[in-house]
Structure 1
Amino acid sequence: MSGSSPFKMRLVHLDLKGAPPKVCYLSEIFPLFRALGANGVLIEYEDMFPYEGHLRLLRAKHAYRYLSYQAGRCLCRENGMCKAATWRGGKGSPSEIKEILRLATLNELEVIPLVQTFGHMEFVLKHEALAHLREVARFPNTLNPHKEESLALVRAMIDQVMELHPRARWLHVGCDEVYYLGEGETSRQWLQQEPNSKAELCLSHMEAVASHVRTQYPTTTPLMWDDMLRDIPEDQLSGSRVPQLVEPVLWDYGADLDLHGKALLVEKYRKSGFSWLWAASAFKGATGVNQSLTPIEYHLRNHLQWLQVAGSMPADTLQGIILTGWQRYDHFSVLCELLPVGIPSLAVCLQALVHGDFAENVKARVENFLGISSLEEMDFRSEGAGSFPGSNILALVIQVSLHLCSSVDALLERDRYVTGWFSPYHRRRKLIHPVMIEHIQPQALSLLARWNALAGELEAALQRVFYPDTVEEWLEENVYPSLRRLQALLQDLGEAASPRQDSGQDP
C-alpha cells in the first residue's frame, strides 16, 4: 500500500522548549525523518530563537540557545565526527538556525516555524518588563488582546522569525489553549457591552495576527491550532475574516478519536470558509506530563484513527498532518520524553501514515530502519541497542525508568534487614546492631556503584545530543533522587557504626 497516504504533507514537530537537540544531532536524525516518510518539520523555537533588539530578553538565559559555537566550528562532537558543516559567522549570530534550514533542505524537509501569538506566551510574559501585557495579571500564559502594544510585540516576534525563514510557505501562529481569555479587567468591561462576546474577542486578535502575516509576507500562509475555534458558531466564523486568512490545524492526540465528531467539525470548518485544513497527531509528549518512556501502541492507535478520519472525507480535504512531539506541556512544566526516546514511536507512526496501515511488512521495515530485532522487545541492552541516532540514550533511559527507582525501593522499603533493624526510627537515632551493617552495607554499596556507573554513561550520552541545562535537568528529575536516597542510607549506616558514647537509652 506504499504511497496510499491521504496526507501529502507529513511534518515532524520539533518542540525546542526545554530539550533542544544540538544541531549535530539534527544532522544525523533528519535523514532518518526523510527515510521514514516525513517531508517537513514544524519547529517551535520558543525561547531558543535568537531574538534581537528589544526582544532580546526573550532568549533563554542558558548556555544552550542556538547561538553558541566558538572559533567557527561545531563543538558537539569531541571526536570531530560531526556530519554538519562548520558554522559560518561569529558568536551571537543566527548561523545555527541557518544551518538547521540548510540541513532540512539537504534532506528535502520543508521547514515551518511556529511562533506563539496568543496563548502559551509564558516564555514572553514571565518577564517583568512585559508582565503588563498579560490578560490576567497573575498568569503569564495569555496575552491581553486589547492593548496595541500586545499586537506590536507579536508582530515584532513574527518579523524576526520570518527574517530567518524568508522562504517559509507556512507560518504557524499557535493560538491554542488561550486560558483565562475574557477574565482580565479590560476584557470584563469590554464584554459588558453588547454585542461583544469572548468569541469575537478571540477572532479579532487572530484576524489581526493573521492579517499581519498575509500583508507582510504574501507568499506565507498562517497555520493555527483549532481548539479555540471549535465552539465558535459557524455563522460567527464565516462572518469573520479568519477563514480567508488561516488554515486551521485540528489536533487530537487520543488513542480513540470521535470519528463522527471529527467529520462534523471538518464540515463546519469547510462551510465557514476555510479552504484547507490540517490534522495533528502525537508521536510523544502527550500521555503524561513527566512521562519518560513513550507508549508506542498508544500513539500508533492515534495515527491509525487519523487515517480513518482522513479516509472518511473527500480527498485533499486535509492538506497534511503534523506529528507533534511535545517536550514540555508548557514552559514551566518538567520534561517529558526526550527526542531520542520517542524515535521508535515516530518511526512506527510515520510508516503507518505512509502505508495506510501497520501490517507485519511495515513493522519489519520499521525494525530495519531502527536497527532493532523486535519492536516488542524494547529492553534495549547496551549490546544490540539499535543503530538509529540516540539509540544508546533510549537504552539507558529504559534501564533508569524501569529499574532504578524500583531497585532502591526494594532495598529501602522491602529488605527485611533495613525495615527490621534500620528503620526511619533507628536511622534518626543512629542505632543499629553491628551485625546488621554487614547485611545492609554491601547491598547498598553494590547498588550505588551500579547506578553511579550507569548515570555516568547516560550523562555522557546525553551530553553528545543535548546542551548542559537539559542534561542537568533530566538527571536531577529522574536519576539523582534515587542516588541520594542510597547515599543517605550509607551515611546513616556509617554514623551508626561509629563508636559513640552510649546514652544508656533503649531504642
Structure 2
Amino acid sequence: MTAKCRRRRLGLVMGALTVAGVVAVLWLVSNASPILKNPIFLVTPRQSHLPRVYHTPGVELHTEVGTEMPSDRLWHLDLKGGAPRIKVIEGIMMLAARAGATGVLLEWEDMFPFSGALANLSARNAYTHEEVKHIATAAKTAGLTMVHLMQSLGHLEYALKLPQWVMLREGESPAEACPSHPGTARLVIEAVNQLMEAVPTSIIHIGADEVFTLAQCKRCQAREQAPLRLYVDHVAHVAQHVKSRWGVRVLVWDDMLRHAPSYLLHSLAGLVEPTVWAYGPDVSRMVPPYILRTYSAVFPRVWLAPAFKGATGPLAIMPDAARHAANTLAWVQVGQRMKHYANLNVAGIVITGWSRYDHFAVLCELLPPSTPSLVVTLLTASRGFMTPATLHDAHTLLDCPPHVMLDPARDPHLWAARDCAFPGANMVSFLHRYVRLRDDVKTLQREAEERGGWLTAYNIRHNFSSPNRVREYMTNLRSFISALKDLHGEAEAVLTQYHNTATVEEWTEQHLLPLNLTLSKFTSVSATLLSHKTWPRRPLEGRPSSAT
C-alpha cells in the first residue's frame, strides 16, 4: 500500500462522522426543498449503447459565482490513466467551464509526445503534437486557462522504471528520484521545456508530492544535509529555472512542506505557491489551521485542493459525489475563514481527479462517467455552497430529463444521472449494470463458499454434493453468464466512444475478466459435481490424517 493510499484511507476514517453529518444536512435540505422533496427515482436505463439526447439550449443557471470565491478554479485532467479521446475532452472542457471552472490542470505524464533524449518517456499510444494542439485549442475555446503539471521528484515512475533513467532512483524503488543527482533536475527541466514549447502557459505545476525515500542513497548521504533540506534545494532549483526561463508562476503540492521548519519554507518564498490538498470532508484534521497560518506568513499565494474523483480507493468505479462535494465545501469554508482570521491569500482551487493512484496502479474512476461529480464539485467550488439550486444547475448542465432527480444524500454516486445526456451518461448506465452483476456474483460466491453447505472446498475436493442444490446455483450461473456476455459487447460499444483500445482492454481485463474467471470456475465445478450419479459410503476418502 502506497503512502498516498494510507493517507487517503486515514482521511476516510477520520472523516466518517463528518460525512454522516454533511449527508444528513443534504438530506434535510433535499426534503425541505420543492425541487427535491420527492424520493429519488432511479431510472431503468434504456438498452442502448448510444448516448441519449435531451438538450435544453438556452436554459439559464439558477445561481451565480460567489463574490468571495477565489478567481481561479482549475479542474485536474489526469492523463496517466484512461486518457480520453480528443472529442471527449473538448466536450468536457465546455461543460466544466459552464460549471464554474476557469482553467484546466493537465497532468500529461507519458501521454505527451516527448522527443529527442526524452522520447522514451512517452507511451506508445501517446497523443500526437497535433492532438496536443487540439486540446490546447479546446481549452482556449472553452475560456479555460491551461496549466501543465510535470512531476519533479516523486511519482516519476514512468521515467525511473526504464533502464535509461534507472541511475536517477533514490533507492531501489522507481517511485522517487534522487534530488542530489544532477540528472534529475536536467530530466525535469527538459520535460518542462518541451511542454512549454508545445503550449506556453502562465502557470506550471511541478508536483513534488509524496517523496518518501529522501536521503537514502550514498550521493545524498554524502551531502550531510537533512532530508527536507535536500528536497527544498531541489524544488527551489527547478522552480528558479522554470520562472527565469519561462516567466511563469510555479505551483507545488504541499504535503512535503507541512513538516518543514519555517526557515526552510522561506527558501521557497517567492518561488512556489503551495497547493494544499486533503480529500476527507474534515480537512482541518488533515491540515490543521496552524499549517495554513504558517503558509500565510511565508507565501504570498496558496491554493486549496479537494477532489472530484480518484480519492476514495484505487479500485473505485464511480466517484462518491456526496463525499467530494462535502470535501470541496469544507475547503471553501476553511479558505474563507483563514482569509478573515489569518490573512491567507487563496489564489485558487484545484479540483483533483486522479485516474490512477500512481503509474503502476490500475485504473480507478474513468473521466466520462465521473462528469456528474465534476459538475457538482465545480458548482460547489464556484458558488461557495451546496443548495437545491446548485443541484438544479447540475441537472441543467448534465441535460437530465425532468423525471431524473440528482440527490447526493440518497444517491451518493449519482447513478440517477445515467439517463441524462451529458458526455459519458451511457457509460454510467453500463457501469451500473456492471456493478449490479459484480455484486450478484459476489453474493453467489459468498453464499456458495461461506454460507451454503454444497459448494464448499470440501464438496469439491470429494466430488460429494446434492445435485438439486447444485442445480439451484446453476440457474443463477446461466443468467450471470448471459449478463456478462452482454457486458463484454457493451464494453466494446460504449467504452470505445470515449477511450482508445488500450484503455478499453485494460478496463475489461481489470473488471470483466475476474467475473469471467469466477463464473467459469463455478460452471466447471458444478458440471463435475453433477456428473456423478452415485456416491461412496462414509467416511469419504482423502480426509486429513489428523481425523484418523
Which bin holds the TM-score, normalised by the shorter protein?
Answer: 0.7 to 0.9
Which of 235, 245, 254 matches 2:271?
245
Q: State the alpha-carbon separation in 2 of the partners of residues 457 and 207 from structure 1.
A: 49
CA distance 1:28–1:290, change in 2 (3 Å): same
Q: State the alpha-carbon separation in 1 of the partners of residues 445 and 290 from structure 2.
A: 55
Q: State the alpha-carbon separation in 2 of the partners of residues 433 and 267 from structure 1.
A: 69
Q: State the alpha-carbon separation in 1 of the partners of residues 167 and 94 from structure 2.
A: 44
Matches within 5 A, 1:376-415: 376=407, 378=411, 385-401=419-435, 403-414=436-447
Matches within 5 A, 1:375-454: 375-376=406-407, 378=411, 385-401=419-435, 403-414=436-447, 419-431=452-464, 435=468, 438-454=471-487
3-state SS of the aligned residue for 2:256?
Answer: coil
CA distance 1:497–1:352, change in 2 (3 Å): same
Q: State the alpha-carbon separation in 2 of the partners of residues 25 and 357 from structure 1.
A: 28
Look up the match of 1:472. Answer: 505
- Which structure 2 residue ranges, 5 or more long, are not aligned? 1-62, 541-548
3-state SS of the aligned residue for 1:19?
Answer: coil
Is the CA contact 1:253–1:286 (under 8 Å) kept in the aligned structure 2? yes
Q: State the alpha-carbon separation in 1 of the partners of residues 173 and 461 from structure 2.
A: 42
1:142 aligns with 2:142: no
Query: 1:97: Cα distance to partner?
Result: 0.5
Query: 1:169: Cα distance to partner?
Result: 0.4
Per-residue deviation, residues 159-190 of structure 1 (Å, max 9, x unmatched): 11111112x00011111111111122222222
3-state SS of the aligned residue for 2:305?
Answer: strand
Look up the match of 2:12. Answer: none
Is the CA contact 1:422–1:431 (under 8 Å) kept in the aligned structure 2? no
Q: State the alpha-carbon separation in 1 of the partners of residues 274 and 345 from structure 2.
A: 12
Q: State the alpha-carbon separation in 2 of the partners of residues 380 and 117 from structure 1.
A: 36
Query: 1:438: Cα distance to partner?
Result: 4.3
Is the CA contact 1:255–1:302 (under 8 Å) kept in the aligned structure 2? yes
Per-residue deviation, residues 362-381 of structure 1 (Å, max 9, x unmatched): 11111222234212365888
3-state SS of the aligned residue for 1:341?
Answer: helix
Aligned length: 467
CA distance 1:505–1:389, change in 2 (3 Å): same
1:280 aligns with 2:343: no
Bigger mean CA deviation after superposition, 303-312 or 37-46: 303-312
CA distance 1:281–1:183, change in 2 (3 Å): same
Matches within 5 A, 1:243-322: 243-258=269-284, 263-272=289-298, 274-312=299-337, 313-314=339-340, 317-322=345-350
CA distance 1:451–1:44, change in 2 (3 Å): same
1:236 aligns with 2:264: yes
Q: Which amino acid aligns with 1:229?
A: L
3-state SS of the aligned residue for 2:283?
Answer: coil
3-state SS of the aligned residue for 1:365?
Answer: helix
CA distance 1:180–1:382, change in 2 (3 Å): closer
Q: State the alpha-carbon separation in 1 of the partners of residues 64 and 151 from structure 2.
A: 35
CA distance 1:380–1:135, change in 2 (3 Å): closer
TM-score (norm. length: structure 1): 0.85
3-state SS of the aligned residue for 1:268?
Answer: helix
Look up the match of 1:151. Answer: 185
CA distance 1:199–1:412, change in 2 (3 Å): closer
CA distance 1:434–1:281, change in 2 (3 Å): closer
Matches within 5 A, 1:40-439: 40-61=103-124, 63=125, 65-67=126-128, 94-136=129-171, 138-166=172-200, 168-191=201-224, 196-218=225-247, 220-238=248-266, 240=267, 242-258=268-284, 263-272=289-298, 274-312=299-337, 313-314=339-340, 317-372=345-400, 373-376=404-407, 378=411, 385-401=419-435, 403-414=436-447, 419-431=452-464, 435=468, 438-439=471-472
Q: Which amino acid aligns with 2:69?
A: P
Query: 1:284: Cα distance to partner?
Result: 1.0
CA distance 1:302–1:436, change in 2 (3 Å): closer
CA distance 1:319–1:259, change in 2 (3 Å): farther
Q: State the alpha-carbon separation in 2 of the partners of residues 134 and 381 from structure 1.
A: 43
Q: State the alpha-carbon separation in 2 of the partners of residues 49 and 392 from structure 1.
A: 28
Q: State the alpha-carbon separation in 1 of the partners of residues 417 and 210 from structure 2.
A: 43
CA distance 1:436–1:189, change in 2 (3 Å): same
Bigger mean CA deviation after superposition, 1-10 or 384-393: 1-10
Q: Which amino acid aligns with 1:123?
A: Y
Is the CA contact 1:421–1:436 (under 8 Å) kept in the aligned structure 2? yes
Q: Which amino acid aligns with 2:331?
A: W
Query: 1:261: Cα distance to partner?
Result: 5.6
Q: Which amino acid aligns with 1:130?
A: W
TM-score (norm. length: structure 2): 0.79
3-state SS of the aligned residue for 1:324?
Answer: strand
CA distance 1:116–1:336, change in 2 (3 Å): same
Structure showing greater relative contact order (alpha-carbon pairs closer than 8 Å, 6 or more residues apart): 2
Query: 1:246: Cα distance to partner?
Result: 1.7
Which of 86, 90, 93 matches 1:23?
86
Q: State the alpha-carbon separation in 2 of the partners of residues 305 and 421 from structure 1.
A: 51
Query: 1:455: Cα distance to partner?
Result: 3.4
Q: State the alpha-carbon separation in 2 of the partners of residues 287 and 175 from structure 1.
A: 22
Is the CA contact 1:283–1:345 (under 8 Å) kept in the aligned structure 2? yes
3-state SS of the aligned residue for 1:209?
Answer: helix
Equivalent pairs: percent with the same residue?
32
Q: Which amino acid aligns with 1:291?
A: A
Per-residue deviation, residues 406-464 of structure 1 (Å, max 9, x unmatched): 31233343269x94444333334555555556434333112210232133213421111
